[in-house]
Amino acid sequence: MIGLGFDKFLSRFVKHKAAVLCLFFVLAVIAGGIFAPWLAPNDPNKIELKLKLLGPGGQFPLGTDHLGRCILSRLLYGTRISLGSAFLVMSFSLTIGTAVGIFSAYRGGRIDNLLMRLCDIFLSFPSLVLVLVIIGVLGSGMVNVIIGMILVQWLWYVRIIRSLVLSIKERTFVSAAKVAGTSDMKIIFRHILPNVLPQLIVLSTLDLGSLILHFSGYSFLGFGVQPPTPEWGAMIEEGRRFIRSAPELMFYPGMLITLIVISFNLIGDALRDVLDESVT
């Protein structure tokens, strides 16, 4: 990474104490999602109406919801979908966006111009509207929401990556590599990609938070995850009707989303600071 060894990178990153804390929190939540089958005290989908709206304690550490399902278990299993879908959307849209962005910037000329105008057209719509249109065509459901989000999200990355590549492409070392006989493919993978990678990492970390928020939002609106599948946004929606009698039904998933989004933002900020330092 821009001539920065991993140990040096790490020693600078740990100076950002809040970000380190956030990183541990995020890792803990991810671990909770991965090991949900072993960690969850109860079956997240088992309805027991006799045990509905119980307070925390005993068999149910965080209590139960309006159908008597274990809230902690639902949160743990919900992590898989809420975080998993965000990672999925991120990795697909970033890959497509990077490929198209590099191609567009490196080729230049008419193709570049055409691609950018196409991007402009799509980006002039609010992304919520575009995703709703795509869901309207494909039908609601988790997979369709993810597809819709990828289709909208990659356009943003094309623009950003294109501008990053354009600035790198003009640096002399790319000319020097050409004169050394390096092929275009090798120039892209050896000289351009490693130099935009730090910014890409910062960008994707910062965006992960908003993707989680968006996905939960679609579930909240009833487009994404269908009941009884546990998901944070859907849990908020289900708890909404009991906000007076049992506000904790909304509080737990809401708090989790808030903390995760803040964490990703702080980690992203810290990464940017560390990498900025290394450039100057």
Partner 1 sequence: MLMEVVELKKNYLSNLSLMRKNTAVVKAVDGVSFSVGRDEVVGIVGESGCGKSTLARQLVRLEVPTAGKIYFEGEDISLLKGTSLKNYIRSCQIIFQDSLSSLNPSLKIGDILKEPLVNHFKLSKQEIHRRIAYMLEKVKLGAGVLERFPQTLSGGELQRVNICRALLLTPRLLICDEIISSLDVSIQASILNLMKELKKEFGMSLIFISHDINVVRFISDRILVMKRGRIVEEIDNKNREYQVRHPYTKKLFQSLPVSHPDKRVV
| Chain residues in the site for partner 1 (CB under 8 A) | 1-3, 113, 117, 171-173, 175-183, 186, 190-191, 194-195
The DSSP secondary structure of 89-114, one letter per residue, reads: HHHHHHHHHHHHHHHHHHH-HHHHHH
**Which residue's CB is nearer to partner 1, number 107 or number 186?**
186
Query: Per DSSP, what are the bridge partners of residue 57?
Result: 60
> Distance between CA atoms of 187 and 35, rounded to whole angstroms?
41
Taking the complex as a whole, how short is the minimal distance between the CB of residue 236 and partner 1, in angstroms?
43
Q: Residue 152 Cβ, how far from partner 1 at the closest point, in Å? A: 24
Quote the CA–CA distance of 149 and 90 in Å, as a whole number.
Answer: 9
Nearer to partner 1, 190 or 241 (CB): 190
- If one counts every other C-beta atom within 10 angstroms of the C-beta of residue 275, the result is 20
With a CB cutoff of 8 Å and minimum separation 6, the contacts of 211 are 86, 89, 90, 149, 153
In terms of CB distance, is 160 or 197 closer to partner 1?
A: 197
We find the least distance from the C-beta atom of residue 267 to partner 1, in angstroms, to be 22
CB of 193 to partner 1, least distance (A): 10
Q: Smallest Cα–Cα separation from 82: which of 181, 214, 278, 196? A: 214
Residues 6+ apart with CB under 8 A from 23: 263, 267
**Shortest distance in whole angstroms from residue 113 CB to partner 1:** 6
CB nearer to partner 1: pick between 152 and 203: 203
Whichever of 81 and 168 has its CB closer to partner 1, that residue is 168
Give the total residue count for the chain: 280
